[in-house]
Structure 1
Amino acid sequence: MDEMVAAVDIGGTKIAGALVDRRGRLTAQCQRPTPAEADAESVLQVVTEVLDRLAEAPGWAGVRGVGIGSAGPVDVSKGAVSPVNIPAWRDFPLVDSVREHLGGDRLPVLLTGDGPAMTAAEHWQGAARGFRNALCMVVSTGVGGGLVLDGALYPGPSGNAGHIGHISVELDGDPCPCGSRGCVEVMAAGPAIARRALRQGWRPDASGDTSAGAVAEAARRGDPVALASFARAAQALAAGIAGTAALVELDVVVIGGGVAKSGELLFAPLRESLRGYATLPFVRDLELRPAQLGTDAGLVGAAAAAAQWLRLDGWF
């Protein structure tokens, strides 16, 4: 029977699960809405329902471990999570709770943050495949990321390494929810793009849509304020990327998430800004790629991180 990893992807809107094989294929998929405003046990109950559905699938007999990718912050050393968008989970002992539900120590359970999970997925099956040193980023309502160093996922002691969204790139910039100022996230995430465009005079059409997607549509029509807002976001990303590359010597940067779906509206000014920031010889040739795995990245990455941790043969 094929070896499998049971993967769970926990976010603010959905909790998804799948069995993942050594080729990265998803089977027995299921999904439930996240009861984000419910109490802690109610959220956990949805996670266990997803796992119970997976356990009914024929491939469950081949499962060697459970990989959980969760919105953060996470603390993998304690197996705990504190997702910003799930208020009832603060330092919640997710790994112990899942392990207990599954019957103790019968199956190992590994927790990974959503940024490192996306990174593991893109390195295993996506745009960073074949590269030994990579930064993979999600640019959406927030900015997250993860690192591959010397060919392996590097989550760091707490599981939050590579969190590029909270590198400060503007000393006197706007306050960030993390408590710092001028972070990449507060300048380049979707809400920041929309907020800046509105502040500088852009106005939505008759629909009243003030999202970053609406700003992107205006930019495609040539609106100078919308274009300038994307360019400013790209500059912030470039500064953070170049600083990270100078620290750890990257080969490739992979960018996914809702803002990245704007395509060249983001990538063209990003490449231009990166030429101005990545000037040292060992960062000058840094390759920039769009992510490939889309919404499957969380599940594929949770499985990949668990398989790496378990040292499963033939997975990489």
Structure 2
Amino acid sequence: MAEHNGFLAIDIGGTKLATAIVARDGAVVARSQAPTPKTDVWATLSSLISQQLSSAPLAVSSVGVGCGGPMELGGEHVSPLNIQDWRNFPLRRQVSELTQLPVFIANDAQAIVLGESWCGAAQGKGDVLGMVVSTGVGGGILSRGNLVVGRLGNAGHIGHIIVQPDGRLCACGAQGCLEAYASGPSIANITGAPAEAASPETVLATGRYVGRAIASAAAMLDFDLVV
């Protein structure tokens, strides 16, 4: 192994599970992924982690995890809305015991905004909204360069801003959330076709919902940039 340490990055989503070895300059030097199963998610994820570590081209010093929320502050327990198999799942303990390394866990969108600030589109920007629009819809916020986590670590959930009063039922239990209109599964439920095959009209309507949510968040927090 090389002398200089790298990091193990883990991305946990409702569609896929992914791991990567990341160098200290942000370069991704190895990666792997697998579809997120309906059950036994940890079995699939732990296998990915073990394989990635065993073949790592760099010595790994710590682990960073981005996972859908909600979760307890620090990721002690997670309950991603789009992973039904995990309710109060002890993610930090499981990853720590498997890797025997320091583990840092954040909401996936919070991880994205930190990454964009470190070596992406938000370099040099202090006030940023980073968004995930995928199986779910999430957000991470930087304010004057600092990550906004909130009391329980769940700040930034832009997917649950109401964009259509008394609208579609969301997985969170509310009606009219952005996620109920803009996530991949929601688009499929609305149109009867995969989100990837959405018509131009559907793309336009979805974009308007996303724009409404961004405008509401920006009016409150005065962003430099939305990624």
Q: TM-score, structure 1 length as denominator?
A: 0.63
> Which secondary structure does the structure 2 equivalent of 1:48 belong to?
helix
Specify the alignment match of 2:20 in structure 1: 18
Whether 1:96 and 2:88 are equivalent positions in the alignment is: no
Q: How does 1:41-52 map to 2 (within 5 A)?
A: 43-52=41-50
Mapped to 1, the partners of 2:15 and 2:176 lie a distance apart of 27
Q: Is the 8 A contact 2:129 2:226 kept in 1?
A: yes
Q: Is the 8 A contact 1:193 1:230 kept in 2?
A: no
Mapped to 2, the partners of 1:188 and 1:87 lie a distance apart of 20
Mapped to 1, the partners of 2:35 and 2:198 lie a distance apart of 28
Aligned in 2, Cα 1:135/1:99: closer, same or farther, shift over 3 Å? Answer: same
> Which secondary structure does the structure 2 equivalent of 1:115 belong to?
helix
Q: Offset of 1:194 from its aligned partner?
A: 5.3
Q: Offset of 1:162 from its aligned partner?
A: 1.2
Q: Offset of 1:25 from its aligned partner?
A: 0.9
Over the aligned positions, Cα root-mean-square deviation in angstroms equals: 2.4
From 198, 210, 222, the equivalent of 1:249 is 222
Mapped to 2, the partners of 1:245 and 1:52 lie a distance apart of 41
Specify the alignment match of 1:203 in structure 2: none
Aligned in 2, Cα 1:48/1:241: closer, same or farther, shift over 3 Å? Answer: same
Amino acid at match of 1:100: E
Q: Offset of 1:192 from its aligned partner?
A: 4.4
Specify the alignment match of 2:39 in structure 1: 37
Q: Is the 8 A contact 2:17 2:33 kept in 1?
A: yes
Whether 1:231 and 2:214 are equivalent positions in the alignment is: no
> Which secondary structure does the structure 2 equivalent of 1:80 belong to?
coil
Aligned in 2, Cα 1:30/1:184: closer, same or farther, shift over 3 Å? Answer: closer
Mapped to 1, the partners of 2:214 and 2:33 lie a distance apart of 33
From 167, 171, 178, the equivalent of 2:172 is 178
| Structure with the higher helix share, 1 or 2 | 1
Mapped to 2, the partners of 1:21 and 1:191 lie a distance apart of 34
> Which secondary structure does the structure 1 equivalent of 2:4 belong to?
coil
Aligned in 2, Cα 1:79/1:213: closer, same or farther, shift over 3 Å? Answer: same
Whether 1:81 and 2:56 are equivalent positions in the alignment is: no
Q: Percent identity?
A: 42
Q: Deviations over 1:150-169 (max 9, x none)?
A: 11333334332211010112
Q: Deviations over 1:213-266 (max 9, x none)?
A: 3233xx2xxxxxxx2x43332332222112211222111111xxxxxxxxxxxx
Q: How many residues align?
A: 225
Amino acid at match of 2:141: L
Mapped to 2, the partners of 1:83 and 1:48 lie a distance apart of 17
Mapped to 1, the partners of 2:64 and 2:80 lie a distance apart of 17
Q: Is the 8 A contact 1:12 1:36 kept in 2?
A: no
Mapped to 1, the partners of 2:212 and 2:25 lie a distance apart of 35
Q: Is the 8 A contact 1:135 1:148 kept in 2?
A: yes
Q: Which has the higher contact order (CA 8 A, sep 6+)?
A: 1
> Which secondary structure does the structure 1 equivalent of 2:51 belong to?
helix
Q: TM-score, structure 2 length as denominator?
A: 0.85
Q: How does 1:42-81 map to 2 (within 5 A)?
A: 43-57=41-55, 59-61=57-59, 63-77=60-74, 79-81=76-78
- Which has the higher mean CA deviation after the structures are superposed, 44-53 or 134-143? 44-53
Q: Offset of 1:193 from its aligned partner?
A: 4.5
Amino acid at match of 2:69: G
Q: Is the 8 A contact 2:75 2:91 kept in 1?
A: no
Aligned in 2, Cα 1:157/1:21: closer, same or farther, shift over 3 Å? Answer: farther
Q: Is the 8 A contact 2:81 2:171 kept in 1?
A: no
Specify the alignment match of 2:116 in structure 1: 122
Q: Deviations over 1:24-47 (max 9, x none)?
A: 111232334433323xxxx32333
